[in-house]
Amino acid sequence: MPSRHRYAVALAIALAAAPVTAPVLAQPGPSGPPTVGVVTAQTRPVTESREFTGRIQAPQRVEVVARVTAVIAERLFTEGGEVTEGDLLFRLDRGTFEAEVAAREAAVAQATALLHNATITLNRARALIGSGAGRAASVDDAAAQQASLAAQLQAAQAQLQAARINLGYTEIRAPITGRVGRAALSVGNVVTPASGPLVVIVSQDPMYVTFPVSVRAALDLRNRYADRGGFAAVRVRLRLPDGRLYGPAGALDYADPSVSANTDSLTLRATIPNPLRPGTKSGEPGNRDLLDGAFVTVFVEGAEPVQALAVPRMAVLSDQQGSFVYIVDGEKKVQQRRVTLGQSTPALAGIASGLAEGDSVVVDGLQRIRPGVAVNPVPYAPPGTRPAAASAPKG
Q: What is the mean pLDDT of each run of 10 residues along the chain (395 residues)?
A: 48 45 42 85 79 92 93 91 91 93 93 88 76 68 86 93 93 93 91 92 93 85 75 84 87 87 87 88 80 90 75 88 90 90 76 87 88 89 59 42
d(CA 281, CA 100): 43
Of the CA atoms within 13 Å of residue 283, those in its CB half-sphere come to 6
d(CA 136, CA 272): 76
Q: Which of 254, 253, 236 is nearest to 290 (CA)?
A: 236
Helices 95-131 and 136-168 cross at an angle (nearest 10°) of 160
The confidence score (pLDDT) of residue 387 equals 54
The confidence score (pLDDT) of residue 13 equals 46
Residue type, 335: Q
Q: Which residues of 197-214 are buried (b: 16+ CB within 10 A; e: fewer)?
A: ebbbbbbbbbbbbebbbe
Instruction: Compute the C-alpha angle 272/273/275, nearest 5°.
Output: 155
Q: Please tell me the pTM assigned to this model.
A: 0.65
d(CA 252, CA 209): 9
All domains in the chain, ordered by first residue: 35-46+307-380 (2.40.420.20), 50-59+202-305 (2.40.30.170), 94-169 (1.10.287)
